Structure 1
Amino acid sequence: MGTVTLMLFGFLAILVILQVPIAIALATASLLVVLIEGTVPLTLFIQTSFSSMDSFPLVAIPFFILAGDIMSRGGMARRLVEFIQSFVGSLTGSLGIITIIASFIFAAISGSGAATVASIGAILIPYMLKNGYAPGYAASISASAGALGPIVPPSIVFILYGVMSNSSISDLFIAGIFPGVLVAVALLIVNYFISKKEGFGLLDKRTVLETAAAAAEKNKASFWKALNEAKWALLAPILILGGIYGGVVTPTEAAVVAVVYSLIICLFIYREITMKELLETFLQSARTTGSVLIFVSAATFFGQVLSIERIPQFLAETIQSITTNPIIILLIINLFLLIVGMFMETVAAVLIFVPLLLPIVLPLGIDPVHFGMIICLNLSLGLITPPLGINLFIGSNIANIPFEKTFRYVAPIFGALLVVLLIITYVPSITLFLPNLIGG
């Protein structure tokens, strides 16, 4: 048992160090172990790869990716930003507030953390720099707000976790609402204190001297104009999530609705995307989808080898030999996942470690939906922690600064999100209240 485990993860580590793409590394490590052990026929690789794709819920992934790309290019993200700016523009750290709220709403459309940073960050980071925000903070708050993508429904990571754990994807979507709000509130609090300390977004003398009546009239006119412009963008998450929660459509059908809706709005109402750009968007979405589904195929085979070699059971017995206290076990798993998130892409981590960790927590009476939230939030923190920190890389590239310039500001944000993680881990009712209420 121990030898097989060392071989499997040893081969994987060597291939990753050699910079072999993670999906190829997963498949290659699994095949090498199968060949050396000789207990499993090679045809299992083909069978498993095919069966992993034969899943109706997975169809939602390419459609949500495509919908997010269309909305990003078609002007919906920009209008969301302008609408939120119309009523928080005079507050301390207002551009940080706009970034967080706009990212929350856009995450409820795209389901992707990286897409959220690329869309909202591309609009707001340059604007923050012009208004005196430190480049490191502009990149950090945008990257951190983008980490809402895997938590706020409809999350692509939830879909993958649901498939891997055989959990209800609709329940996972519903369960993500309160944790997502909690993360957003934590970000808003940190944004306020950092902005106040650093002097970001404070009112200047001209704004202070402006008469209250004139300011109120200006804000009122700006608000209604922005609301009118953004009404179709604001309707998107209501349509998508309302259809799922109301039982009108499945998550997969909702993803198709999202694509059709975004096409109609961006092509015929906003008219900000050309047919050439639309073709480029389809190609970009196809590339992203292809990489995700290759991950799924390779990781499913990797998980099958783990299962055949009884590695999950071995890991569970090892942890339980240390302690049987659920509180300590969850703390160990959190620490493990935080480290994993620093080095591994979110999708790959979910597909690899869910089959390993789920058999450990289920005997403890931990609800799989609650555990899914713990996994997704842990790995979301990996989006803003080096050395991987893909959201930080995107944000720092937009801000045109070195990656390490973000560390000063991302540290307190990370600390606040760690507190949220502990609350969600040890207060399961935050996650399970809505699914239990709606499920009866």
Structure 2
Amino acid sequence: MGALLLLLLVLFTAGVPIALALGIAPLPTLMDRNIPLIAIPQVIFESLDSFALMALPLYVLAGRLMQFGGIAERLVHLAVALVSWMPGGLGAAVVLTSMMFATISGSSAATAAAIGSMLIPEMERQRYPRPFSAATTASSGELGVILPPSVPMVLYGVIAGVSIGDLFIAGFLPGLMIGLSLILVVSLTAWAKGYGKRVPFSLGVWAPDVWRALRRAALSLMMPVIILGGIFGGVFTATEAAVVAVAYALFLGVVVYRKITVRDLPRIFADAAVTSAVVMIIVAFAAMFAFSLNVIRAPQTIGAALASVSENPLVFLLLVNLFLLVVGMFMETFAAIIILAPILAPIALSYGIDPVHFGLIMIVNLAIGMVTPPVGVNLFIACGIARISMEELMRPLAVFLAILVLNLMVVTYVPGLSLGLLR
């Protein structure tokens, strides 16, 4: 197992693309065990032959249609109307919009890009420092994969054999807790340092503004109601819900809001196809890597090693959190789920940990990885929009990371938060 992981690390260090590294690293192991190489295409095609996995490219396409179809813009206006009176109101609006957009897009990067491109320039005009604006956008963007629907949840459900609908339900309360804690951090920081413009609260002004914004965003807000209501009500599966999301987003963008023209559609479809293809290639070759780990009985070896350290599930969860936080700093989320879920999920089950709860722990861990250097995708998006360097972002980001890790500990050791709505 050591040689397999070492070869993978060497390939990553050498700059080999993630998908190719995951496909090349298992070859020596398979040849050493005299496994015919015909097993490679068989494992790859079997990993992609999944009805549930069809939801992944569909949610990607739905997210693109929402991003360009005027849905994000209306959600931004609603969030600003709701919380602009608070200290740091515009920063709080970034988090609140991310929470609303997360219930539609299913993607952390899409959430950070859509919200940041609209609100970071406005925060700069209202005297928020650009590093703080970027840190707010990057950290709140992680809600895109915690609040349902979530593309990583779909992937984890397929890999670990867990109900995707149950994972979606389990993500509600943790996502709300994380979002509200980020709003609190933004508001307290802005109040202490004098960021942004203070708008005195007046019910006579606030209520009409909220009503106007709510009317404009009403059809956009119906999307999570239709998608999640249909899943939880048993009307359609998570995969069928992705089809409904695409159709509804297309209808709003083209017919209702008229932000998307027929001429725009090929570009949007091509963009979604490229993104989906990249993810699917990673999924395919990561499945090959996971197969080689099973060949050398890596799950059993790691499980025995953890059991020798402690038989206490609380200690196991602490070790898993530390491990996943480090992994999330260096490995792409989809690859990490496909490689580690088949190893860690059975071990967690042997400790008596609910598989849905453990899935949320993995998702929240790897979501934090999206906002940690050196490869946090949300950081690059936020820095690009704010036109700052990664070094400038680190100081304000540290506070947000501390809060995110604190939330992770609550999600880990209070299973009722994830499982309460399932009971």
TM-score, normalising length: structure 2: 0.98
Q: Is contact 2:310–2:316 with CA below 8 Å preserved after alignment?
A: yes
Cα deviation per residue 1:5-54 (whole Å; 9 max; x = unaligned)?
1221111111111111111100110123212x143111111111111111
Q: Is contact 2:86–2:187 with CA below 8 Å preserved after alignment?
A: no
Of 325, 340, 345, which aligns to 1:338? 325
Are 1:166 and 2:153 matched, yes or no?
no
Cα deviation per residue 1:49-85 (whole Å; 9 max; x = unaligned)?
1111110000111111101100100110001000121
Q: Is contact 1:91–1:202 with CA below 8 Å preserved after alignment?
A: no
Aligned-CA RMSD value: 1.2
Report how far residue 149 of structure 1 moved. Answer: 1.2
Of 69, 89, 95, which aligns to 2:84? 89
Amino acid at match of 2:334: V
Amino acid at match of 1:429: G
2:22 maps to: 26
Q: Hey, what's the Cα distance between the residues in 2 that align with 1:351 and 1:68? A: 22
Q: Is contact 1:91–1:201 with CA below 8 Å preserved after alignment?
A: no
- The aligned runs of 1:36-435 (5 Å cut-off) are 37-203=32-198, 215-435=202-422
Q: Which runs of 5+ in 1 are unaligned?
A: none
Q: Greater CA deviation, 109-118 or 410-419?
A: 410-419
Amino acid at match of 1:130: R
Amino acid at match of 1:31: L
1:9 maps to: 5
Amino acid at match of 2:301: F
Report how far residue 201 of structure 1 moved. Answer: 2.7
Q: Hey, what's the Cα distance between the residues in 2 that align with 1:72 and 1:397? A: 18
Q: Hey, what's the Cα distance between the residues in 1 that align with 2:18 and 2:112? A: 23
Cα deviation per residue 1:319-368 (whole Å; 9 max; x = unaligned)?
11121111111101100000001111111111111112123211110011
Q: Hey, what's the Cα distance between the residues in 1 that align with 2:134 and 2:73? A: 18
Amino acid at match of 1:12: L
Provide the identity percentage. 43
Q: Greater CA deviation, 220-229 or 313-322?
A: 220-229
Q: Is contact 1:196–1:202 with CA below 8 Å preserved after alignment?
A: no
Q: Is contact 1:313–1:359 with CA below 8 Å preserved after alignment?
A: no
Amino acid at match of 1:81: V
User: What secondary structure, in the 3-state scheme, does the structure 1 residue paired with 2:373 have?
Assistant: coil
Q: Hey, what's the Cα distance between the residues in 2 that align with 1:197 and 1:224? A: 31
User: What secondary structure, in the 3-state scheme, does the structure 1 residue paired with 2:353 have?
Assistant: coil
Cα deviation per residue 1:213-248 (whole Å; 9 max; x = unaligned)?
xx5444333222212211111111111111111111
Q: Hey, what's the Cα distance between the residues in 1 that align with 2:333 and 2:232? A: 26
User: What secondary structure, in the 3-state scheme, does the structure 1 residue paired with 2:282 have?
Assistant: helix
User: What secondary structure, in the 3-state scheme, does the structure 1 residue paired with 2:370 have?
Assistant: helix
Cα deviation per residue 1:85-107 (whole Å; 9 max; x = unaligned)?
12222211111111111101111
Amino acid at match of 2:2: L
Q: Is contact 2:117–2:385 with CA below 8 Å preserved after alignment?
A: yes
Q: Hey, what's the Cα distance between the residues in 1 that align with 2:311 and 2:197? A: 51
Amino acid at match of 1:346: T
Report how far residue 202 of structure 1 moved. Answer: 4.1
Report how far residue 433 of structure 1 moved. Answer: 1.1
Report how far residue 276 of structure 1 moved. Answer: 2.5
Q: Which runs of 5+ in 2 are unaligned?
A: none
Q: Hey, what's the Cα distance between the residues in 2 that align with 1:22 and 1:381? A: 20
Cα deviation per residue 1:292-333 (whole Å; 9 max; x = unaligned)?
111111111111111111011011111111211111111011
Q: Hey, what's the Cα distance between the residues in 1 that align with 2:255 and 2:5? A: 51
Task: Give the number of equivalent residue pairs.
Answer: 423
Q: Hey, what's the Cα distance between the residues in 2 that align with 1:87 and 1:371? A: 34
Q: Hey, what's the Cα distance between the residues in 1 that align with 2:203 and 2:353? A: 51
Q: Is contact 2:127–2:197 with CA below 8 Å preserved after alignment?
A: no
Amino acid at match of 2:304: E
Cα deviation per residue 1:261-291 (whole Å; 9 max; x = unaligned)?
0111110110011222221110010011001
